[in-house]
Amino acid sequence: MRTQVGIIGGGPSGLLLSQLLHLRGIETVLLEKHSRDYVLGRIRAGVLEHGFAELMREAQVAERMEREGQVHEGFFIAHDGVRDRVDLHALTGGKSVIVYGQTELTRDLYEARDRLGGRVIHNAEDVTPHDIATQRPYLTYRLGRQAARIDCDFVVGCDGFHGVSRQSIPPEHLQVFERTYPFGWLGVLSRTPPVSPELIYATHERGFALCSLRSSTLSRYYIQVPLSDTVEAWSDEEFFQELRCRLPEDVARAMIIGPSIEKSIAPLRSFVAEPMSFGRLFLAGDAAHIVPPTGARGLNTAASDIYYLYHALLDHYLNGDDRGLEGYSQRALARVWKGQRFSWWMTMLLHRFPDNTPYEQRLQRTELAYLLSSQQALASLAENYVGLPFA
Ligand SMILES: Cc1cc2nc3c(=O)[nH]c(=O)nc-3n(C[C@H](O)[C@H](O)[C@H](O)COP(=O)(O)OP(=O)(O)OC[C@H]3O[C@@H](n4cnc5c(N)ncnc54)[C@H](O)[C@@H]3O)c2cc1C
């Protein structure tokens, strides 16, 4: 088989890129390791910034997001038994974010790919990029016992943190920057009305907590837990008891709880691999970088990669101009690092660090007090939260 752009990974990055390119007449084949049901069963991001929503519109997949997504003009920071509202709308001159689940937008993208007859191959095993340093790269994979090959002009690695694309770049050409955190987030999804129409980020001496949502009937709650904890060790009852403990009393009292329909632990990690391209292989999204979920940057940073790569590929195919592809890594990384800085900063601000000295604890409290007392500091938080411009 032959195509113009071979894409590895059928998460939001890969699907969005293939849909955008297809609409402009550029052929793609997308190889996904898992089944569609498996991909759609993963509960992840929920907060989309303006730039992401714009790309969904350009990809002609925004109809349900516009109808069912909730526009949020602010969120709360809970501390010391009270809540302070961060008014995103006022602080950014009218900007906001959209709450719409990653599962839903992935479903929308799959359906759009089906409608256009996009070539998406699920359950592709042993996907391997070859000859990426040459002008004629190709991909091999297996479907059951049948081996197959796709020749392409370019390979795009959208296969997440554990994917094969980044690993196919010779290690001497890759520099990795990484920070791990001594805790994870235990998340519970429950079919209950959310306790608050806007997200509540809570910092408490027992640890961080987040009250998030996916819709008016679906709540997503998180608590900071040690990395040694397991999902099995937490009953629903214990989870909600601990969550309530970390929230202001009025919030805890108002919370309606119900059985979890999904429960998982996500370790927190900051990671960047540079450069984001090698020869004719380009990395995008979690394949090249991940952030702790505090600040909701992961999927949104993936979207800016897709924006730069999509335009670079358009320039190549429609105008014969390769400057976008040559500068892709540098351009994408400039924004990636701003997302890294913001996610790291919010994580450091709101979590309990077991090894912090009393001095560091005081500094952390002072950082929060300063933030909440300064319009300039709040404006900086809001500017980053709604998303820095792509350009
Ligand atoms: C608990 C949690 C909460 C989050 N909340 C937010 C949030 O509110 N806002 C936000 O912006 N981000 C958030 N994120 C981050 C966000 O989910 C990711 O950044 C996003 O999924 C990245 O999309 P992607 O397509 O690049 O990678 P992925 O979604 O990881 O998709 C990669 C795809 O590649 C496939 N794949 C892997 N290896 C191979 C292979 N060898 N061959 C073929 N296919 C392969 C995988 O099966 C997968 O389908 C959150 C993450 C977590 C874990």
User: How do residues 52-110 score in pLDDT, each as one tens digit?
Assistant: 999 999 999 999 999 999 999 999 999 999 999 999 999 999 999 999 999 999 999 99
Instruction: Say if ligand 1 is within 6 A of residue 46 CB.
Output: yes
Kindly state the helix (H) or strand (E) to which residue 133 belongs, with its residue range.
none
Mean of pLDDT over the chain:
96
What is the secondary structure of 13-78 as a DSSP string? Answer: HHHHHHHHHHHTT--EEEE-SS-HHHHHT-----EE-HHHHHHHHHTT--HHHHHH-EEE-EEEEE
Instruction: Say if ligand 1 is within 6 A of residue 127 CB.
Output: yes
Is 46's pLDDT higher than 90?
no
Distance (Å) from CA 40 to ligand 1 centroid: 11
If you take atom 1 of ligand 1, which residue's CA is the nearest one? 44
Is 341's pLDDT higher than 90?
yes
* DSSP helix/strand/coil, 93: coil
Pairing of strands 28-31, 119-121: parallel
- Which of 8, 94, 86, 16 has the alpha carbon at shortest distance from 53? 16
Distance (Å) from CA 162 to ligand 1 centroid: 10
Distance (Å) from CA 277 to ligand 1 centroid: 19
Report the alpha-carbon distance of residue 301 to residue 88 in Å, rounded: 19
User: How do residues 290-326 score in pLDDT, each as one tens digit?
Assistant: 999 999 999 999 999 999 999 999 999 999 999 999 9
User: How do residues 205-244 score in pLDDT, each as one tens digit?
Assistant: 999 999 999 888 999 999 999 999 999 999 999 999 999 9
What is the secondary structure of 193-249 as a DSSP string? Answer: --S-SS-EEE--TT--EEEEEEETTEEEEEEEEETT--GGG--HHHHHHHHHHTS-H
Cis peptide before 275 (omega within 30 of 0): yes
